[in-house]
Structure 1
Amino acid sequence: MKRALLNTIIVATGYLASRVLGLARDVLISHQFGTSAELAAFRASFGILDLIYLVVAGGALGSAFIPVFSAALEQRRDAWRLASAVLNLTFLALVVACTTVWVFAPSLVVLTVGRGLDEAERTLTVDVLRLMLIQPFLLGVGGLAKATLETFNRFTLPAIGSNLYNLGIIGGALLGSWLGVYGLVWGVNVGAALFVLVQLPGLRAIGATYRIGREGRASSSLIESLVSPFNAEGVGHLLRLLGPRLFGQSAWQINMIAIVSLASTLGSAALAANAYALQLMMLPHGLIALSLATVLFPEMSRLYASGDRMTLRATALGGVRAVLFLAFPASAILGVLALPVLRVLFQRGAFDAASAALTTQALSAYALGLAGFAAAEVIVRAFFAMQDTRTPVIVGVAAVALNISLGWSFLRLGMGLSGLGAAFSLANLFEAAMLLALLGRRLGGLGRDFFRAIGAMILAALACVGALALLYRVSSPVWTFVAPGDAYRWPGDFLPLVVWLTGAIATGVLAYVGVAGLLRIPELDAAIVRGQRMLARVRLRFAVGNGR
């Protein structure tokens, strides 16, 4: 348990640093590009790039690789031959995918992410897309290295790699004044290379070896080189697990491409604003859900492999509760305080009041589904740990269909970016609810305590929303820099707004914690205990450092 807590802290710290750097990156980008057509081309191209990475070597491969690789290690089979075969297959798939996208880039942009852009914006998007095709290749190889290290509970180097990736993009953004959007392009490529390189010492430390051909022999022919990965023990099982997950990740990324495509019909400024809103929602999602799910996934995989179903149930449901306890207040804060948050972070330079207003529409709506989006991250990993990739894929595809149909319908009703955000939120809440119900059936029920705790968290979140909404309504006539419109002025209003926003967030958190305490939510007590332990450690180190 102590190791799991330490790993969670390492991953959470890595995600925190990554998200802070991500914010710094977006602040620089927003100042330089605002919601311009250049930035729209850059953001749009990522829809296709992410399709390659996530489907071929990102979440799809990692979710199937870790359980199979863990089982090979547990059963003392040749795990490194399996890993080498998977690397060879990944390399081959990425070469094919990137080559295909390069050739058909103009048609792909017109039919997908650039549907609502004009001819010049589409041409720029194609150029940017082609130049960044090295990124999914590097991230794909790095993603396999990350999954391997995490199987051995080595989380530090993958976390550092994610931060170096952001630093590369920040370096590119700083070159934006001279190179324009191409500074961002090369920043992405350099950052992806650093993500791979920093993990190589970790692979060497765990004894990773690369095998070619059969029984470690060099392949005697090109045909044997291509066929031998499929003959490695465990590859067939991995591919069977990968099939449904591959389909699910494809559906999910098609969903994200559809969102970009729908946003583009509102103009390039709306496309860029929608991307900012999604990035901001990913900040708490990464800190709350991804950090914990990343640590729990290998642990749940080992528990399932060892047959310890009771501990697996407690670990999975405990993870869901912990994520929801933090996600509910984060959702309330982002939803109610979207405009002040955006003004503090971005409203300066090219990111003007119109950009802030557009992004607020999307962010407020996206925030409604944060809790479902975060909870699903842990629930899906629980299914993957049980080597069930089919169930979450079926539910995920249904959620994708719901999101696209709702998004299209809401746009037809004139809801704009708010409609796209609302569709996304409703689809994610639906997915989390369905997955949770199915997980309960697999694990012998969720239990009355689980439902009681979630109900109490929802009441506490509503108290947080009420307190924030009341404070916002009272403050707007007095402090005009808070109110909607064009009253905010940079830099004069920046510090007063930071002070107000800090106080508002503290008010919301106190309301949430107060109701959580009255309703005796166990996660609050656990958070207090962890906080006290961390404070005690800091005091001890301070005392030792002063020679006491």
Structure 2
Amino acid sequence: MSRVLRASAIMAAGTMVSRVTGFVRTAVLASTIGVLALGDAYNVAFMIPMMLFDFLIGGVLSSVVVPMIVRAQKSDADGGRAYEQRLMTVATLALIVIAALGVLFAPLLVDVITTDLDPVKTHVTVTLTRYILPQIAFFGIGAIAGAILNTRDRFGAPMWAPVLNNIVVIAVGVAYHVVSGAGANIREVTSSDLALLGLGTTAGIVAQSIILIIAVHRVGFRFVPRFDLRNARLGEIGRMGAWTLAFVAFNQIGLTITTNLATGATAKAGAAHVAGIASYSYAYQFFQLPYGIIAVSVITAMLPRMSRYAHEGQFGAIRQEFVSGVRLVSAAIVPAGLMLMVLGPAVAVLVFAHGSTSVDDALNIGTVLQVFGLALVPFSIYQLLLRVFYSFGDTRSPALIALGNVVVNASVGFVLYLTLPPHLIVMGLALSFTLAYVLGGVVAWRLAAAKVVGGLGGRDVGVALSRMYLASIPAAALALAVLWATKQFAGITPLSSAIMLAVGGGAGALIYLFTSQRMRIAEITSIIGLVAGRVGR
């Protein structure tokens, strides 16, 4: 566990700065453009290039391209430089063409991903989409550059480059607040306002890519366009990445369905202020914060070792690595999930209830966040389980499990869309997301355990989780009591929310540390020891 802990702590530092600045970016944009019609339009426009990039290259890059670059570096006479140049060439050309086609067919893309937009909302969403879509090409350039750096054990630039992107977009949000007279009113927003928001968002990705290009230049990579693409091994990439592509495609289909249902909720509500796709997106980003800081770092540290153990047939070592990873992640994720369930509205009001976002709009985000709190533990364990499959080179099982997740998420979400009142629909979508990952986690566990002789240590994981939940209950109970008392005396405002978080969250964290120490939860002791050691240096 100590190896996982040390490696995860090193990577978590950069990840934390990136996630925190990303969350500040989200808060600034919410304050500037709100979470209603204009906020929905911006979030839809931002999702489209992200979805296209993930579908076209993002998933394949992480599972196929990096290993192929490593293989070329070892087997090719030039150390793989020509192969890297071919990859950069084909990715750049393909994504430029796709970005151009996306701009041309933006109205169709918006129509596919949304439901019942009126003409003004459609025009604004399409305009923003056309400004933001060109960033696909820069995403691709930066992604290949990051892969080249990772194969050379240079992780600093890929870790910190997104921070510059976030800073640029924060500056764009502040500039919009200063120069625009429309604020969050979608019917008063001007062409120059939309250009500032859209092109400013794209500028953030351009800045991120430039940092990565400079970084690969410094490690000796020189980009020379190469058009002898027969040697780019695209067929091999396609064969190896087919199931990964299916996995990404299924997830993007699920996101498309969710976006349609969330935009349909605002259309059904008419003039009433209800949670829409912006509220769902902002709540999801906050839900991802503890997962991104804690679980992603552990996953990154454990996957190479699990892959080596799988290759050598060391099933006991795989089980030990997996159990250690789950316990380490859960030690922080379990209390974080309970705290989100209790303090979600207070968090949302403190962070979002400023500028163009009212307290009621922020509470809509907070109630969705509470439901996402239920999903934090099953979602994180599910992601760890996928790494068991990947360590055995199995990309087929994750794709089929993802298909099942989409079916459950879409089916439950659609039923709730038809039966719930508009103000509860997006909460229902968060609940369908949770149920999908609970069921998906059960299926993934059974299939992954069948690959490891002796199983995955389910009893050890179950006992550890039970003890962590028991240690978290007093902290959550105190936070709930503080929340109730503060609401009775001061209502819900940004100031009272700050009190709830400072007292309820802060005291709750101390209680969790105390109870976990008394219950001898070793993972918490290890984390405290590591942090204390680093602070003391």
Question: Is 1:109 equivalent to 2:122 in the alignment?
Answer: no
The alpha-carbon distance between structure 1 residues 249 and 478, as it changes in their structure 2 partners (threshold 3 A), is closer
Which residue does 2:56 correspond to in 1?
Answer: 56
1:437 pairs with 436, 446, 450, which one?
446
Q: Secondary structure at the match of 1:337?
A: helix
1:253 alignment partner in structure 2: 252
Note if contact 2:327-2:464 (Cα within 8 Å) is conserved in structure 1. no
Q: Which position in structure 2 is the counterpart of 1:37?
A: 37
Paired residues of 2:142 and 2:212 also in contact (CA < 8 A): yes
Tell me how far 1:479 sits from its aligned partner. 4.4
Question: Is residue 428 of structure 2 the alignment partner of residue 400 of structure 1?
Answer: no
On the 8 A contact 1:50/1:253 being kept in 2, the answer is no
Higher mean C-alpha deviation, range 242-251 or range 90-99 = 90-99
Contact 1:38-1:181 within 8 A present in 2 as well: no
The answer to which of 128-137 and 427-436 deviates more is 427-436
Equivalence map 1:66-465=2 (5 Å):
66-73=66-73, 78-112=79-113, 114-177=114-177, 178-179=179-180, 180-210=193-223, 213=226, 225=227, 228-232=228-232, 235-267=234-266, 270-298=276-304, 300-301=306-307, 311-414=317-420, 415-448=424-457, 451-461=459-469, 463-465=471-473
**Contact kept in structure 1, 2:385 and 2:448, CA below 8 Å:** yes
Shift of 1:370: 1.1
Task: Verify the 8 A CA contact 1:252 1:396 in the aligned structure 2.
Answer: yes
Could you say if the C-alpha distance between residues 20 and 248 of structure 1 is closer, same or farther in structure 2, counting changes exceeding 3 Å? same
Percentage of identical aligned residues: 26
Q: Please give the alpha-carbon distance, in whole angstroms, between the structure 2 residues aligned to 1:2 and 1:332.
A: 26
Alpha-carbon distance change, 497 to 39 in structure 1, aligned in 2, over 3 angstroms? closer
Kept in 2, the 8 Å contact 1:456–1:519? The answer is no
Shift of residue 398, structure 1, vs aligned partner = 0.9
Counterparts in 2 of 1:384 and 1:194: CA distance versus 1, 3 Å: farther
Determine the structure 1 residue equivalent to 2:186: none
Measured against aligned partners, the alpha-carbon deviations of 1:426-464 in whole angstroms (never above 9, x if no partner) come to 11222233223322222323454x532443324432553
Alpha-carbon distance, 1:210 to partner? 4.4
Deviation per residue, 1:502-531 (Å, 9 max, x gap): 221234334444454454433223223323
Contact 1:49 1:133 in 2 (8 A): yes
SS of 2:265's equivalent?
Answer: coil
SS at match of 1:388: coil
Moved more, 294-303 or 523-532: 294-303
Query: Could you say if the C-alpha distance between residues 532 and 360 of structure 1 is closer, same or farther in structure 2, counting changes exceeding 3 Å?
Result: closer
Q: Which secondary structure does the structure 1 equivalent of 2:399 belong to? A: helix
Residues 28 and 170, structure 1, Cα contact 8 Å, conserved in 2: yes
1:366–1:422 contact (8 Å) kept in structure 2: yes
Instruction: Give the whole-Å Cα distance in 2 for the aligned partners of 1:241 and 1:59.
Output: 12
Within 1, Cα distance between the matches of 2:218 and 2:318? 29
Q: Structure 1 462/45 Cα, relative in aligned 2: closer, same or farther at 3 Å?
A: farther
Q: Which amino acid aligns with 2:430?
A: G
Mapping of residues 465-544 of structure 1, within 5 Å:
465=473, 467-469=475-477, 471-473=479-481, 475-480=483-488, 487-489=491-493, 494=495, 497-537=497-537
Where does residue 546 of structure 1 map in the other structure? none
1:328 touches 1:458 (CA, 8 Å); kept in 2?
Answer: no
What amino acid is the match of 2:427?
Answer: S
User: 1:346 deviation in Å?
Assistant: 1.3
Change (3 A) 1:304 1:446: closer
Report the alpha carbon displacement of residue 313 of structure 1 after superposing the two structures with TM: 4.7
Asked if the contact 2:482–2:500 (Cα under 8 Å) also holds between the matched residues in 1, the reply is no
- Separation in 1 of the partners of 2:310 and 2:215? 26
Partner of 1:216: none
Structure 1 counterpart of 2:393, which letter?
A: Q
CA contact (8 A) 2:247 2:403 kept: yes
Could you tell me which amino acid in structure 2 is paired with residue 275 of structure 1?
S
Q: Which secondary structure state, in structure 1, belongs to the residue aligned with residue 221 of structure 2? A: coil
Q: Deviations over 1:215-247 (max 9, x none)?
A: xxxxxxxxxx3xx334345x4433222111111
Counterpart residue identity of residue 241, structure 2: L
Contact 2:45 2:129 in 1 (8 A): yes
1:172 touches 1:186 (CA, 8 Å); kept in 2?
no
C-alpha change, 1:289 and 1:2, in structure 2 (3 Å) is: closer
**Alpha carbons 1:158, 1:199 under 8 Å: kept:** yes
Question: Which TM-score applies when normalising by structure 1?
Answer: 0.85
Separation of aligned partners in 1, 2:358 and 2:278:
13
C-alpha RMSD of the superposition: 2.8
Provide structure 2 residue ranges, at least 5 long, that are not aligned to the other structure.
181-192, 268-274
**How many residues are matched?**
513
Task: Tell me how far 1:478 sits from its aligned partner.
Answer: 5.0
Matched to 1:387, the amino acid is G
1:321-369, Cα deviation, whole Å (9 max, x unpaired): 3222221111111111111111111112221122022112211111111
Distance 1:535 1:59, change over 3 A: same
Q: Is the contact between residue 116 and residue 266 of structure 1 (CA under 8 Å) also seen in structure 2?
A: no
Q: Which deviations, in whole Å up to 9, do the C-alpha atoms of 1:390-447 show, x marking residues without a partner? A: 1111111111111111111122220422211101111122223322332222232345
- Judge which range, 39-48 or 83-92, deviates more: 83-92
1:305 shift after superposition: 6.1
TM-score w.r.t. the length of structure 2 is: 0.87
Distance 1:466 1:524, change over 3 A: closer
> How far apart are the structure 1 equivalents of 2:391 and 2:144?
17
